[in-house]
């Protein structure tokens, strides 16, 4: 009787278990998530950085009553809003993948992994988007202190949103604070989950990278206008200096947190560390240990993606460090700030560097933990939905085309508004401010002899 009951239970569990996915489905699902998550990350990096820049500019404008800084808030704020709006769409689209392509992950770890995502949506994203709407439509309707408070609420909740996302991602890379009940993971220690070293170190690294991205973006756009001999020389001269003097310390902060993460890899994800360092003996030893512990399988992540991503990130950081030091020196001299056109071209060309560094760093972080989705607990092949390769291929094509269109539209809008300059900035536009600024002559062209 006991044997019969055991057989019935086993059959029930097998019936409930998701079908084993085709290897091609696994590869397509990984590629789809890599493209969509990486595409979304392009928006997040600039959004976080620009939010802090705009909030600081508005703080300066509010306290000083400077018309020039108020115009800077409107111009850079408009670019921030464009990037934020399109980025929301990419984030919503990306969320569909968890239920569609990764039901093994949600079934096994959804109680833990889904908790920070739910908090991010309710406590951070809703608050952020609500106050951003009030900030956009509240110009000249709220007093200046209330309006300033709104952009700081937007900025702080954006940072909080990024933190909760990294709580979820940190759990995948270094699962803590959980227990297993009935074959599923449940949250056992919220404090451990929220203070996960994989989360906290990544948060500092991402925050520094976001400010670095914003610094290069602001400097590049400003250099474009100075290169074209804009009459808004004071506006873009100040903006260029803001971008340059922000980028260098942001780079140092990013590198510091990245260095600590590299040091922690040996204990948190030793196989990734061994692959990056090309320690063949350590890789063989770890492969044998993991095989003995988890059964037969290949526990060595792709060297091309892991080591290639890490090296690309480090090379990009080295280039930005040399540029950052040179930029600070050149921006400190008035003559080169306004007249060194070759430098302006270099600043424009260097705008993609932070994006390259952050995307390659993300590849290093995510590809390096393979073959695990939840490190040491759930393999990728067990997390993927049991879809056919044809269905996954159709999904991949749809998502890729959609994301490519969104990225193209976003950059077309950003470049279009950036080229127009502050004169046509529609965000919070008030003719009275333009009249006041014209009276004080802050937008007057610099004489050619001094330019």
The average pLDDT across 37-43 equals 86
Angle at 108 between CA 102 and CA 110, to 5 degrees: 75
Question: Tens digit of pLDDT for each residue in 290-349?
Answer: 999 988 989 999 899 999 999 999 999 999 999 999 999 999 998 888 989 999 999 999
Quick check: is 236 in a domain? yes
Share the mean pLDDT of the chain: 86
Query: Considering the domain boundaries, does residue 420 fall inside one?
Result: yes
Has residue 11 been placed in a domain?
no
The residue range of the domain holding 381 is 25-269+301-433
| 130 inside domain | yes
In a domain, 1, yes or no: no
Whether residue 147 is contained in a domain is answered as yes
DSSP summary character for residue 424: G
DSSP for 160-206?
A: HHHHHHHHHHHHHHS--SEEEETTEEEE--HHHHHT-HHHHHHHHHH
User: What digits encode the pLDDT tens for the residues 156-209?
Assistant: 999 999 999 999 999 999 999 999 998 899 999 999 999 999 999 999 999 999
The band of 20, judged by pLDDT with boundaries at 50, 70 and 90, is low
376 lies in some domain: yes
First to last CA, the chain: 95
Percent of residues, the chain, with pLDDT higher than 70:
89
- Helices 197-227 and 144-173: crossing angle in degrees, nearest 10, is 130
**Number of independent structural domains in the chain:** 1
Is the residue at 274 inside a domain? no
* For residues 360-387, average pLDDT: 90
């Amino acid at each position: 009787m006991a044997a019969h009951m055991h057989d019935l239970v086993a059959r029930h569990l097998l019936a409930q278990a998701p079908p084993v996915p085709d290897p091609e489905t696994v590869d397509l699902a990984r590629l789809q998530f890599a493209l969509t998550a990486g595409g979304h990350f392009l928006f997040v990096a600039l959004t976080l950085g620009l939010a802090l820049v705009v909030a600081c500019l508005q703080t300066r404008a509010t306290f000083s009553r400077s018309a020039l800084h108020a115009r800077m808030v409107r111009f850079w704020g408009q670019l921030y809003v464009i990037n934020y709006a399109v980025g929301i769409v990419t984030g919503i689209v990306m969320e569909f993948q968890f239920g569609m392509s990764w039901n093994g992950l949600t079934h096994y770890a959804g109680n833990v992994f889904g908790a920070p995502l739910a908090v991010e949506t309710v406590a951070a994203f809703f608050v952020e988007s609500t106050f951003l709407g009030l900030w956009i439509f509240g110009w000249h309707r709220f007093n200046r202190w209330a309006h300033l408070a709104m952009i700081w609420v937007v900025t702080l909740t954006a940072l909080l949103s990024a933190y909760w996302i990294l709580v979820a991602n940190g759990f995948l890379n270094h699962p803590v604070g959980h227990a297993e009940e009935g074959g599923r993971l449940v949250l056992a220690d919220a404090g451990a989950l929220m203070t996960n070293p994989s989360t906290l170190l990544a948060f500092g690294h991402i925050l520094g990278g976001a400010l670095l991205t914003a610094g290069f973006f602001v400097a590049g756009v400003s250099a474009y206008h100075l290169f074209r001999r804009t009459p808004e020389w004071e506006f873009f001269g100040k903006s260029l200096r803001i971008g340059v003097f922000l980028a260098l310390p942001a780079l140092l902060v990013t590198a510091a947190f990245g260095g600590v993460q590299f040091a922690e890899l040996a204990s948190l994800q030793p196989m990734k560390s061994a692959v990056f360092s090309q320690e063949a003996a350590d890789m063989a030893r770890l492969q044998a240990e993991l095989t003995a512990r988890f059964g037969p399988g290949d526990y060595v992540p792709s060297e091309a993606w892991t080591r290639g991503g890490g090296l690309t990130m480090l090379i990009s950081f080295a280039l930005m460090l040399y540029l950052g030091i040179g930029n600070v020196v050149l921006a400190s001299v008035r003559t080169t700030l306004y007249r060194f056109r070759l430098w302006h071209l270099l600043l424009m060309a260097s705008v993609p560097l932070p994006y390259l560094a952050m995307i390659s760093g993300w590849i290093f972080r995510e590809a390096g933990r393979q073959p695990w989705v939840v490190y040491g607990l759930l393999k990728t092949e067990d997390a993927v939905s049991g879809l056919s390769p044809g269905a996954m291929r159709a999904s991949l094509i749809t998502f890729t085309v959609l994301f490519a269109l969104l990225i193209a539209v976003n950059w077309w809008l950003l470049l279009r508004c950036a080229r127009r300059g502050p004169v046509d900035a529609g965000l919070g536009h008030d003719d009275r401010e333009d009249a006041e600024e014209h009276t004080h002559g802050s937008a007057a062209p610099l004489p050619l002899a001094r330019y």
